[in-house]
C-alpha cells in the first residue's frame, strides 16, 4: 500500500508539472496570437486565440482536478474525490460547445462582408501556433487514454493543432488568391472540429454522472459469466457504473445453495476475480442469497426496494 501510494504521488507530481508548463506556454501564446489577430484583421487567428484561452482555463481546471482526486476518502466523501475530474471534463466540453457557437455566429457575419486579411501575419503566427500547441498537447498526452479529465484537456490542445494548420493553409491561399472569405470558412471548419470533439467528452461525462453502464460492457454477457461461476444459481439486482472513465464498480445479488459462510466467501472471491480479469471491475459488492426474491427482472428497481 505504501509503495502504491508513493507511486501515485509521483505520478500526480509529474502530471501537475507537465500541466503547469503547458499552462504557461499557452497563456504566453494567447497574448501573442490575440495581438497578431487584431493586426492581421483575421478571425481565424482571433478564433484560435479565444480557443487557446479556453485551453488555459481547461489546463488550470485539469490540474486542480488531478490534485484534488488524490485526497483520501472520508465520512463525507466515501468514494473520495474521483468525480472531480469528470466535473472538470463536463465544464471543459461545455465551454467548447459555447465557443463553437460563438465562432459560427462571427463567421456568418464575416461571410456577409469579408474584411481584408493580412495573410503574412496569419501564416507566420499560425506556424508558431502549430509548434506551441503541438508541444503542449504532447505534454498532456501521457495518461489521457484512461483519464477523461486529461483527455478533455488533450483534445482541447489537439483541436488547436489542427485548427492552426487550417489557419496557415487559409493564409497561404489568401496570399496567392486574395480570397478573404476563406478566413471565416476556416473558422467554421475549426468550430465544427471543436464541436465534434466536445460532444464525445460531453456525452461520456454525462453518462458517468448519470451512473450509466460503461459502453464497452455487455450486460447479457456479464450476467452469463456470473452464472458460470461455480456455486452461483442466479443473479439479480445487477448494477454496473463508473466512478471515473477507468474506475468501475458493480453491485449484485447472487443466488447460491444454502451453504456455509466459508463456501460463500469462495463464491464471492471467484466472482470478484472474474469481474476484475474480464471486465476491469475492481470494486464489486456481491450479496449472497439462498432464496430467490423473484424479481421482475435482473435490474431490480431501487424505488421498489425503497418503498417496500
Whether 51 shows a pLDDT value over 50: the answer reads yes
Cell matching residue 149: 479529465
Q: End of a domain among 186, 209, 232?
A: 209
Mean pLDDT of 273-280: 94
* 83-136 pLDDT tens trace: 888 888 888 888 888 878 888 887 887 777 766 666 677 777 778 878 888 888
- pLDDT given for residue 117 in this prediction: 65
Residues belonging to the chain: 308
* Mean of the per-residue pLDDT values of the chain: 81
Residues 201, 168, single domain; the answer is yes
Structural domain contains residue 214 = no
* 143-190 pLDDT tens trace: 677 777 777 778 777 777 777 777 777 778 877 777 777 777 877 887
Angular region, 106: left φ>0, alpha ψ -120 to 50, beta rest: alpha
Helices (H), 210-281: 219-227, 261-279
Domain assignment of residue 279, given as a range: 219-307
- Residue 240 pLDDT level (bands cut at 50, 70, 90): very high
Residues 123, 243, single domain; the answer is no
Whether 4 shows a pLDDT value over 70: the answer reads no
Distances (CA, A) of 27 to 24, 40, 189, 196: 5, 20, 24, 24
CB atoms closer than 10 angstroms to residue 94? 14
Amino acid at each position: 500500500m505504501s509503495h502504491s501510494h508513493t507511486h501515485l504521488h509521483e505520478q500526480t507530481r509529474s502530471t501537475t508539472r507537465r500541466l503547469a508548463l503547458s499552462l504557461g506556454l499557452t497563456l504566453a501564446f494567447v497574448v501573442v496570437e490575440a495581438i497578431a489577430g487584431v493586426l492581421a484583421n483575421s478571425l481565424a487567428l482571433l478564433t484560435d486565440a479565444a480557443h487557446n484561452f479556453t485551453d488555459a482555463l481547461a489546463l488550470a481546471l485539469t490540474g486542480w482536478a488531478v490534485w484534488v482526486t488524490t485526497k483520501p476518502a472520508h465520512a463525507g466523501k466515501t468514494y473520495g474525490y474521483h468525480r472531480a475530474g469528470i466535473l472538470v471534463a463536463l465544464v471543459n466540453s461545455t465551454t467548447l460547445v459555447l465557443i463553437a457557437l460563438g465562432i459560427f455566429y462571427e463567421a456568418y457575419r464575416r461571410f456577409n462582408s469579408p474584411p481584408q486579411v493580412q495573410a503574412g501575419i496569419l501564416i507566420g503566427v499560425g506556424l508558431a501556433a502549430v509548434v506551441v500547441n503541438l508541444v503542449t498537447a504532447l505534454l498532456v498526452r501521457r495518461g489521457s487514454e484512461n483519464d477523461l479529465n486529461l483527455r478533455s484537456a488533450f483534445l482541447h490542445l489537439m483541436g488547436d493543432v489542427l485548427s492552426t494548420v487550417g489557419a496557415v493553409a487559409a493564409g497561404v491561399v489568401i496570399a496567392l488568391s486574395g480570397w478573404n472569405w476563406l478566413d471565416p470558412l476556416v473558422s467554421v471548419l475549426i468550430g465544427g472540429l471543436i464541436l465534434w470533439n466536445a460532444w464525445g467528452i460531453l456525452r461520456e461525462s454525462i453518462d458517468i454522472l448519470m451512473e450509466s453502464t460503461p459502453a464497452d460492457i455487455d450486460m447479457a454477457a456479464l450476467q452469463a459469466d456470473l452464472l458460470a461461476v461455480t456455486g452461483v444459481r442466479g443473479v439479480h439486482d445487477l448494477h454496473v457504473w463508473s466512478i471515473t472513465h477507468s474506475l468501475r464498480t458493480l453491485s449484485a445479488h447472487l443466488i447460491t445453495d444454502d451453504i456455509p459462510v466459508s463456501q460463500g466467501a469462495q463464491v464471492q472471491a471467484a466472482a470478484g476475480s472474474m469481474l476484475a480479469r474480464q471486465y476491469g471491475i475492481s470494486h464489486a459488492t456481491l450479496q449472497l442469497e439462498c432464496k430467490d426474491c423473484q424479481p421482475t427482472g435482473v435490474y431490480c428497481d431501487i424505488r421498489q426496494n425503497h418503498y417496500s
